[in-house]
Amino acid sequence: MESQYLEKVKFLIVEDNAFMRAVLFQALKALGAGEVRMASNGADGLKELQDYQADIAIVDWEMQPVNGIEFVKTVRRSDDSPNPFLPIIMLTGYSEMRRIIEARDAGVNEFVVKPISANTLFERIEALIERPRPFVRLEGFFGPDRRRKSSDPARDERRQEMKKKKKKMTQDEINVLINPTPEEAESTSIETKSGGGGNTGAADAS
């Protein structure tokens, strides 16, 4: 599966489990990723970003002393953040809808449930590169626009049905829910920012 598609993309893995860090590292390298750095918790991940211009961060939820949600909120909202537009993939073993919504509202771009496969990881990375969402600023929120409009009415109907259920969700269901319809978003006026953050370099890769 290795190719030149990701060779110019810089990744940051933030994961407290050493085995999982190794799995993610090997998966990214198998996909042809360029530089990959790792941190064992959210606090170390934030320090790493101070001198490492990551294009994409892959972040676990459950960590100490700074968990994944706190990491995302700090990257998005802190005055000291080196890149508030950093594309972030949240990685977790939990697939309950409330957690997916919490991660989305914190400002994640994508949400992947463990155990992961290289194919699933690549699909979410590809979505970040090929279909970046503009960033918006609402009251209490800064992050990728949660109001992406689907061109598929059936997909929108499916999303509405899922919001009524309290259950664990599949990865496909998560991919639908993480991008709500415009009607589901807050009706506050927005300040639109450019692009998906970070120069992935994918356009230069063959």
Give me the pLDDT at residue 140, please. 85
- β pairing state of 135-138 and 191-193: antiparallel
CA nearest 74: which of 161, 164, 143, 157? 143
pLDDT at 174 over 70: no
Top-confidence residue, 8 or 161: 8
Give me the pLDDT at residue 176, please. 55
pLDDT at 82 over 50: yes
Q: Any idea which fold 11-204 has?
A: Rossmann fold (3.40.50)
Tens digit of pLDDT for each residue in 157-166?
A: 555 555 555 5
Give me the pLDDT at residue 12, please. 98
Q: What are the helix (H) ranges across the chain?
A: 18-30, 42-49, 68-77, 97-106, 118-130, 153-163, 171-177
Tens digit of pLDDT for each residue in 119-135?
A: 999 999 999 999 898 99
Residues recorded for the chain: 206
